[in-house]
Amino acid sequence: MREYQRGFRWLRTPGIVSIAAVQGHAIGAGCQLALACDLRVLAEDAQLRLPEPTLGLVPDLTGTSTLVELVGYSRAMEICLTGRPVGAAEAHAMGLANVVVPVAQLDAAVAQLTHALLGPPAGASRETAALVRSAVRNDPATQDAAERAAQVRRLRELAGGR
């Protein structure tokens, strides 16, 4: 199980930004795979579902921590314990999906998002992604210090390493 979890956590490795493209049903591990990604693009027919507790099991592929971060404790608790499907529109409204598109536009929407992500300088994107990831766990003073340190690194790089 630990190796599977490591694989799912890899999707949030510093230096990459992962995008899940979801069409149709993402149930159990499929839902947790989408949750493991940084961004989620859903087709209108997408449904996310974590039915493990209804089967006598638990979600075990790192999805619970991300779910709580995205939708809050009580909503995550309800989604997990009931195992009910969350449709694309509801997922978007609660912050699980970044965008919802018609099925025929899913690939184009992912390509457009990928293009936009590749636009800024890679170093700035890496530093910003690291800051956003740490913000969910850091207290304000620690996060402020991380932002200052990251900006100093960026300014030094832009000034030619001085």
| Structural domain total, the chain | 2
Residues 13 and 64 in one domain: yes
Residues 77 and 128 in one domain: no
Are 103 and 44 in contact by the 8 Å Cβ rule? The answer is: yes
Residues 37 and 57 in one domain: yes
Residue appearing with tokens 């956003």? 132
Residues 15 and 37 in one domain: yes
Residues 100 and 126 in one domain: no
What band does 14 get if pLDDT is binned at 50, 70 and 90?
Answer: confident
Average pLDDT of the segment spanning 59-87:
96
Residues 112 and 126 in one domain: no
What band does 80 get if pLDDT is binned at 50, 70 and 90?
Answer: very high
Residues 76 and 104 in one domain: yes
Residues 95 and 148 in one domain: no
**CATH number of domain containing 31:** 3.90.226.10
Half-sphere exposure of residue 94: CA atoms within 13 angstroms, side-chain side: 19
Residues 6 and 67 in one domain: yes
pLDDT in tens, 85-132: 999 999 999 999 999 999 999 999 999 999 999 999 999 999 999 999
**CATH number of domain containing 130:** 1.10.12
DSSP for the chain, please give it.
-HHHHHHHHHTT-TT---EEEE-SEEETHHHHHHHHSSEEEEETT-EEE--GGGGT----SSHHHHHHHHH-HHHHHHHHHH---EEHHHHHHTTS-SEEE-GGGHHHHHHHHHHHHTSS-HHHHHHHHHHHHHHTTS-HHHHHHHHHHHHHHHHHHHTT--
* pLDDT at residue 135, as a whole number: 93
Residues 133 and 103 in one domain: no
* pLDDT at residue 162, as a whole number: 58
Residues 99 and 137 in one domain: no
48 vs 53, 84, 91, 96, 125, CA distance in Å?
Answer: 15, 9, 8, 9, 28
Residues 31 and 62 in one domain: yes
What tokens appear for 61 in the block?
Answer: 């592929």
Q: Which domain holds residue 99?
A: 2-117
- Backbone φ and ψ for 5, nearest 5 degrees, come out as -60, -40
Are 68 and 76 in contact by the 8 Å Cβ rule? The answer is: yes
Mean pLDDT, rounded, of the chain? 95
